Chain A
Amino acid sequence: MLSQIFVNSIVAGAVYALLAFGFTITYGTLNFFNMAHGVAFTVGAYLCYVFRILLGLDLPWATVLAVFGTSLIMVAVDLLAYDRLRARRAPSWAMVVSSIGVAIFIEAVISLIFGSDTLSLRTGEVRPGIAVLGAIITETQIVILIVSVILVALLTLYLKMTRMGKALRAMANDPEIGVIIGIEPRLTYMTTFALASGLAAVAGCLVAFETDVYPTMGHSALLKSIVASIMGGVGNVGGAVFGGLFLAAAENFGVWKLSSSWQDGIALTLLLLFMLAQRSKSMLLGK
């Protein structure tokens, strides 16, 4: 029982980490809570469905195309929905409002195109999981783990080593000085959006293999990214990964004792407690 909870926590934590990674770099560089982050997750899953089931591509190709497609769409959204606000130096809540609009819009468009029903990405029959140390783990879950670990490692290296990665971190640190030393702000913002939504799309595809695809699947993805990144200290990449794992563990151990429908309630209560605990340091007055 305990080892099963452990396995479930690690797998869910890996997905949450991918989501929170994107949410947190968006907050770091663009300085707003992107309420449309969950929608990137949904778009990724639906594009995967389109490429895999409707066009019949192989799974890896379908996933890669879905991820790039999502990044492309979200960069376009960035130009349409946030660029003007940034140019006007609008306060961050205006960006939050705009992202709520984006989330509602894209979700409604998806249900207009595909209908509100659940779609399945599964083609073959369901294979039984493998028993490891008294816990059952499915092949998809192993893929989820491997992909997440590789991606998080690669992106951490990217942020640390490459020129663009350093530019992203510089803009997160101080946008004005970033511009003075010659960083092209728009390019860094677009890269951030592409990375963040690409990661969310990967998470969307991975979850879609395991469960199914439906228009509101992004809601809980958004919740998890918010909670995990706040717990890890928003803007902190390592913290996002830790937050994701911690959240998954808290949920899975909580569900052990309570009914599983309390999951979101548990997560958001944790969020409020963490926000109130952090407030005394950084949010007392001003940013």
Chain B
Amino acid sequence: MDIVFHLVIMSGIYMILALSLNLLIGYAGLFSVGHGAFYGIGAYAAAILSTRYGLPFWLEIFAASAVAGLVGYVLGRPILRLRGDHLALATFGLAVIAFSIFTNWSDLTRGPLGIRGIPKVTIFAFALEPLWSYAVLVMACVAITLLFLWRMTHSPFGKVLEAIREDDVAALAIGKNITRFKVVAFVTSSCFAGLAGVLYAHYATYIDPSAFVTAESFLVFSMVIFGGMGSNLGSMVGAAVLVSLPELLRFVGLPGNIAAQMRDVIYGALIVIVINWRPQGLLGRARL
């Protein structure tokens, strides 16, 4: 039964990542392949705040997400002026730089050793010790993320984002400050990626740089592509499927290390197939 809750928790964490990335890719047309950077920043912020400063969880979850959002603002301001594939390259750069900082800034992150002993979550004296209770917390966070992003994308703000995606010059011409809209979307997305990082840090209780390699960013990216750009439901399905895939492969009898590589084979092929033959993904809207 534990494996089911483990999958629910991990799927939930990746759902938050995929949903927040979908805001950028699907709605704003900003191709970020560096989402893992903000995931990592959230996780490290949570680890440091809880192990060194003993912040209570409910405060820390906001603080760590805010740190991710702040970094998103500082980096987003300059790089969001880049467009299309240049932006993709720059965000890829962010992911590599973030990984390099996690590995090398030993005073802050303890480098490759990682941070141990991140406490399990306690909310107002209720220890979320059993796995199912943590799964409930993660799912609650998914629901909040979904609600927030749904409200955001179905508001006039979301319509402007879509306008920017379709034709930013036209959006500029009708007087929209496109840079501001892009930055707000980027910061929101970074905050939620940070939230996913917080949840991961407290679930794993140990983090090191290897959890935030560039492949992680690609994984989240392919969840959105596979689920269908611009579909929140699609991103969630994409996250659940790609997280569960290695377990499924193990279930049909592949040994653990082969199952992980098989998953990469399958999801690499999926990306190529989806973008070539079904660019709208599983549940997205047709475009291209």
With a CB–CB cut-off of 8 A, which chain B residues contact A90? 279, 288
Q: Does A275 contact B (CB under 8 A)?
A: yes
Chain A CB within 10 A, most for which of B86, B90, B262? B86
Task: Report whether A94 and B279 are in contact in the complex, using a CB–CB cutoff of 8 Å.
Answer: yes
Name the prevailing secondary structure of the B interface residues: helix
Task: Report whether B86 and A269 are in contact in the complex, using a CB–CB cutoff of 8 Å.
Answer: no
Q: Does A93 contact B (CB under 8 A)?
A: yes
Q: How large, as a class, is the contact surface on chain A? A: 35 or more
Task: Report whether A100 and B261 are in contact in the complex, using a CB–CB cutoff of 8 Å.
Answer: no
Task: Report whether B90 and A98 are in contact in the complex, using a CB–CB cutoff of 8 Å.
Answer: no
With a CB–CB cut-off of 8 A, which chain B residues contact A106? 268
Q: Does A135 contact B (CB under 8 A)?
A: no
With a CB–CB cut-off of 8 A, which chain A residues contact B257? 116
Task: Report whether A33 and B103 are in contact in the complex, using a CB–CB cutoff of 8 Å.
Answer: no
In Å, the complex CA distance between A112 and B214 comes to 20
Task: Report whether A98 and B104 are in contact in the complex, using a CB–CB cutoff of 8 Å.
Answer: no
In Å, the complex CA distance between A271 and B82 comes to 13
Task: Report whether B271 and A100 are in contact in the complex, using a CB–CB cutoff of 8 Å.
Answer: yes
With a CB–CB cut-off of 8 A, which chain A residues contact B96? 223, 264-265, 268
**Chain A residue at minimal CB-CB distance from B267:** A104
Minimal beta-carbon separation of A12 from chain B (angstroms): 18
Instruction: Flag A55-96 by CB within 8 Å of B: 1 or 0 each.
Output: 000000000000000000000000011001100101111101
Q: Does B84 contact A (CB under 8 A)?
A: yes
In Å, the complex CA distance between A268 and B75 comes to 14
With a CB–CB cut-off of 8 A, which chain B residues contact A269? 93, 97
Q: Does A1 contact B (CB under 8 A)?
A: no
Q: Does B248 contact A (CB under 8 A)?
A: no
With a CB–CB cut-off of 8 A, which chain A residues contact B82? 275-276, 279, 283
Known contacts A104-B218, A106-B268, A108-B265; decide if A262 and B88 are in contact (CB<8 Å). no
With a CB–CB cut-off of 8 A, which chain A residues contact B103? 261
Instruction: Flag B76-99 by CB within 8 Å of A: 1 or 0 each.
Output: 001101111110111011101101
**Chain B residue at minimal CB-CB distance from A92:** B85
Task: Report whether A107 and B85 are in contact in the complex, using a CB–CB cutoff of 8 Å.
Answer: no
Q: Does A230 contact B (CB under 8 A)?
A: yes
With a CB–CB cut-off of 8 A, which chain A residues contact B90? 271-272, 275
In Å, the complex CA distance between A271 and B225 comes to 26
Query: Among residues 5 to 59 in chain B, which have CB atoms less than 8 Å away from a CB atom of chain A?
Result: 31, 33
- Which of B84, B101, B261 is the one whose CB lies under 8 Å from A93? B84
**Chain B residue at minimal CB-CB distance from A270:** B93
Q: Does A179 contact B (CB under 8 A)?
A: no
Q: Does A253 contact B (CB under 8 A)?
A: no
Q: Does B140 contact A (CB under 8 A)?
A: no
Q: Does B65 contact A (CB under 8 A)?
A: no
What are 23 A-B pairs with beta-carbon distances under 8 A?
Answer: A33-B85, A80-B272, A81-B276, A85-B276, A90-B279, A93-B88, A98-B271, A98-B275, A101-B269, A104-B222, A107-B268, A108-B264, A111-B261, A112-B261, A112-B262, A116-B257, A116-B261, A265-B100, A269-B93, A272-B90, A272-B93, A275-B90, A276-B82
A-B complex: 7 closest residue pairs judged by Cβ atoms: A105-B268, A101-B271, A265-B100, A108-B264, A104-B268, A101-B272, A268-B93
8 extra A-B contacts, CB within 8 A, seeds A104-B267, A223-B96, A271-B89: A97-B271, A98-B272, A101-B272, A226-B89, A261-B103, A271-B90, A272-B79, A279-B81
